Amino acid sequence: MGEVKVLGAWPSPFVMRARIALNLKSADYEFIQETMNPKSQLLLESNPVYKKIPVLLHNQRPVCESMIIVQYIDDAWPTGPSILPSDPYDRAIARFWAAYIDDKWFPSLSTIARAQGEEARVEAIKQVISGIQLLEEAFEKCSKGKSFFSGDSIGLLDIALGCFLGWIKTTEKMAGVKILDPETVPHLVGWAERFCADSAVKEVMPETEKLIAFAKAKFQPPSK
């Protein structure tokens, strides 16, 4: 399939999406760590519009934006396991929930750490919990009683949400809140364990303690 590179950074959940998709396809690739400060010339040339990671370089041709990259990988490596559902309706539903996660749910999760004041923090937590309960319902409908959103194996929606599991655990520990609660979202709790145990995921899922250290350095002001 030619030369494959992923420009990214280890803490990024969006970069994880590209790496998991490639792992599912058993594709060999080079992972190039970006410091983002400053941004490398390769990144600026590969994604001149948004100047963001991840970028997939396939035979030196760049593909940008994480969910577009995942869908590109599914098309470019057709012999591996399918990532997108084969049924058009199921595919549309997976894309709908993936968009919800990126546009509405994840912004609430990231707001918890940056919230100014207790009221803003409580509201962000409320939005995250409400959203995860919606996703619990979506899992029940999409999985049809099987192990993953996509059925028997990891698919588009699993990748879309699963890439945030490390940051969910980090937020739970740092904010003292339970997001994946067995009492309220039991299906997602079981799904999360299966997702993280998959061979395509294990090697790219960052350790919670490393994410906590990264988050403290990034979001908390230095002591005087």
What is the tens place of the pLDDT at every residue in 202-216?
Answer: 999 999 999 999 998
Q: What's this model's pTM, rounded to 2 decimal places?
A: 0.95
Q: Which of 76, 106, 136 is where one domain is finished?
A: 76
Looking at residue 64, its pLDDT comes to 98
69 & 93 share domain:
no
For residue 224, is it within any domain? no
Q: How many domains does the chain have?
A: 2
pLDDT at 72 over 90: yes
User: What pLDDT does residue 99 have?
Assistant: 98
pLDDT of residue 223: 44
- Report the CATH number at residue 111: 1.20.1050.10
Same domain, 174 and 133: yes
Query: Sign of the C-alpha dihedral, residues 164, 208, 35, 197?
Result: negative
The pLDDT assigned to 219 comes to 65
- Asked if residue 48 is part of any domain, the answer here is yes
Is there a single domain that holds both residue 94 and residue 198?
Answer: yes
pLDDT tens digit sequence for 98-123: 999 999 999 999 999 888 889 999 99
Share of the chain above pLDDT 70, in %: 97
* Domain finish residue from 76, 96, 120: 76
Same domain, 106 and 54: no
| Mean pLDDT (whole number) for 45-58 | 97
**Residue numbers of the domain that contains 121:** 88-216
39 pLDDT more than 50: yes
How far apart CA 224 and CA 52 sit, in angstroms, is 32
Residue 65 maps to which CATH number?
3.40.30.10
The whole-number pLDDT of residue 113 equals 84
Average pLDDT, the chain: 95
Whether residue 160 contacts residue 67, with contact meaning beta carbons closer than 8 Å, is answered with yes
Is 222 part of a structural domain of the chain?
A: no
